Amino acid sequence: MIRAVPPGSTVGVLGSGQLGRMFAIAARRMGYRVHTLSPDVDTPTGQVADVEVRASYDDLDEVREFASRVKVVTFEFENVPAAAAAAAAEFAPVRPRGEVLHTTQNRLREKQFLTRHGFPCVPFRAVASLEDLRSALREIGTPAVLKTAGFGYDGKGQHKIISQGHAAAAWSLLGGHEAVLEAFIDFECELSVVAARGLAGDFAHYGLVKNDHLNHILDMTVAPAPVVESLCREAVEITRGVLETLDVAGVLCVEFFLAKDGRLFINELAPRPHNSGHFTFDACLTSQFEQQLRAVCGLPLGSTELLRPAAMANLLGDLWDHGEPDWSAACAFPEVKLHLYGKLEARPGRKMGHLTALANSGGEAARIAAAAREALTAKQR
């Protein structure tokens, strides 16, 4: 029998960024208290949480003390050290499990897991030396993409290799760290599915969405994705299989490449709410953040019904280059919702917030979101 963690209880979050902030908003709305731990202070999550603990994730005694004061622990980004998750688990359930974190925070372990269980991945090879890289390039061919095995996101730690002659330079840029070489896919578009799995094995998903990137950072998500229904069903079934095989209790996103020939390949897994699921805060009956709360607390999952087609546009720190953006201009679009994360400093490429537009179609929502974002800096030009 599953013993739920009821409203009124305290939930602990390892990490303190915008994902934790939106999780905390959803949790407090349902009557939970939220504690957050990270090395920073006055964080996006901490501004909303009941208690903000400033400590290193490597300070395992502090992590244990933190976990002893909550009923369940979750995390809002996957680069929390697995040792911290294990320390927390001595005092409170950690959901998703630390083993899920261990698998998904390293590209090599993740891809080995996926291929071992028959999930579709692009060809890859493990690389631990320049000679490994040259050998892998001979096997996979060029172009190819060299990626650090651990702690990479938003395109960081990635280098495209055009020919064997570029191998030494690419390896040098990675600083000799463990890496993965992947075949380069000439893809049609990038897609993703955000889904949740409860303690009882119940499953819910937000459908297939289309993601456009700029400089390797997600720029806009459109829901639902403008693809055939059979592709949506295939992506959801792959996602269900991943969550079940990993034995996830919580939210996980599967990012896909759609190849020109119509095949789906898994690019990455993210064992937490995802940037491409931010539209759910406004456009779905149950947001991905409330769903994470329900899942880790052992409550039944909520309906993921899409109330209206939507588009989410990221707001990066570049928008502040010439002063404060014109928030009134964006809010003049009545179909647009503004979300700012409370970050103390705007930097180029840093995710500072997002806009969500609702409309009668995904394409229309994308046009509105783009126009509202453009209006933020129109007076500065």
Q: What's the pLDDT score for residue 152?
A: 56
Supply the range of the domain harboring residue 31: 10-94
Q: How far apart are CA 95 and CA 174, in angstroms?
A: 32
- From 161, 183, 205, the end of a domain falls on 183
In a shared domain, residues 287 and 376: yes
Q: Is 251 part of any domain?
A: yes
Domain boundary among 43, 75, 94: 94
The answer as to whether 62 is a domain residue is yes
Domains of the chain: total = 3
Model confidence, pTM: 0.94
Give me the amino acid identity at 365. A
- Measured CA to CA, the distance from residue 34 to residue 293 in angstroms comes to 11
Is the residue at 114 inside a domain? no
Do 194 and 277 contact (CB within 8 A), yes or no?
A: yes
Answer with the one of 74, 94, 114 that is the final residue of a domain: 94
For residues 258-286, average pLDDT:
96
- Kindly tell me if the per-residue pLDDT of 151 is higher than 80: no
CB-CB contact of 56 with 39 (8 Å): yes
- The lowest-confidence range among 146-155, 295-304, 351-360 is 146-155
Give the pLDDT of residue 172: 87
* Structure confidence at residue 153 (pLDDT): 54
Beta strands in the chain (DSSP E): 10-14, 33-38, 51-54, 72-75, 124-127, 144-148, 158-161, 179-183, 187-197, 203-214, 217-223, 250-259, 264-270, 310-316, 336-340, 351-358
The CATH number of the domain holding residue 85 is: 3.40.50.20
Higher-confidence position of 189 and 149: 189
| Position with higher pLDDT, 154 vs 319 | 319
- The pLDDT of 338-351, averaged and rounded, is 96
Both 170 and 212 in one domain: the answer is: no
- Confidence at 165, pLDDT banded by 50, 70, 90: confident
Q: What is the pLDDT of residue 155?
A: 52
CATH number at residue 149: 3.30.1490.20
Q: Are residues 327 and 178 in the same domain?
A: no
Assess if residue 99 is contained within a domain. Answer: no
pLDDT of 381 > 70? The answer is no
Claim to verify: residue 361 and residue 305 sit in the same structural domain: yes
pLDDT reading at 154 higher than 80: no
How many percent of the chain have pLDDT more than 70? 98
Q: What's the pLDDT tens digit per position in 294-334?
A: 999 999 999 999 999 999 999 999 999 999 999 999 999 99
Q: Is there a single domain that holds both residue 199 and residue 263?
A: yes
Check residue 4 and give its pLDDT. Answer: 95
Same domain for 32 and 128: no
Nearest CA among 28, 27, 32, 35 for reference residue 9: 32
Q: Are residues 284 and 327 in the same domain?
A: yes
Quick check: 232 and 258 in contact, CB under 8 A? no
Q: What average pLDDT does the chain have? A: 94
Asked if residue 365 and residue 246 are part of one domain, the reply reads yes
Q: Per the domain annotation, does 102 fall within a domain?
A: no
Query: Residue 290 pLDDT > 60, yes or no?
Result: yes
Whichever domain contains 247, its CATH number is: 3.30.470.20
**Shared domain check, 268 and 359:** yes
353 occurs within a structural domain: yes
Residue 328 lies inside a defined structural domain of this protein: yes
Please write the tens of the pLDDT for every residue from 171-218: 888 877 889 999 998 889 999 999 999 999 999 999 999 999 998 899
Q: Coil, helix or strand for 326?
A: coil
- Please determine, for residue 33, whether its predicted confidence score (pLDDT) is greater than 80: yes
Same domain for 240 and 370, yes or no, is: yes
Task: Give a yes or no: residue 100 inside a domain.
Answer: no
d(CA 347, CA 338): 19
Mode of pairing for the β-strands spanning 10-14 and 72-75: parallel
Rounded CA Rg of the chain: 21
Same domain, 156 and 213: no
Do 128 and 235 belong together in one domain?
A: no
